[in-house]
Amino acid sequence: MPASMKTVAILFLTFFLLLCLLLYAGDYALLRYRVSRSRAPLGTVEMQPYYAVPQKDGKTEFMFLKPEDQVCVHSLFPHLGHAPCWYLNRYRNKQINI
């Protein structure tokens, strides 16, 4: 790999990492702004948890539990210890393997 290709690759990687960092920081700043203005930064999503119990014959038995609400954050990335609402809305079933 020529030296100029290495330089271009390093510059591209650096630019990409800075862009990701800037996107994450902007998302966090927007969330903190919503928290300070009480603009509903948190939401809830109803999750359907269930146990997946393997049987001796190789099959799996599913035991569904009561639906439960899970707190989520209205942002692109997870913040404040909560998953983003768009992610939880997409994956509402919560499998618990035993």
Token pair 């390093």 in the structure block, residue: 10
CA distance 8 to 6: 5
The per-residue b/e assignment along 24-46, b for 16 or more CB within 10 angstroms, e otherwise, is eeebeeebeebeeeeeebebebe
Determine the average pLDDT of the residues in 11-16: 96
Q: Where are the domains of the chain?
A: 3-97
Q: pLDDT-based confidence at 53, cuts 50/70/90?
A: very high
- pLDDT over 90 at 92, yes or no: yes
- pLDDT over 80 at 1, yes or no: no
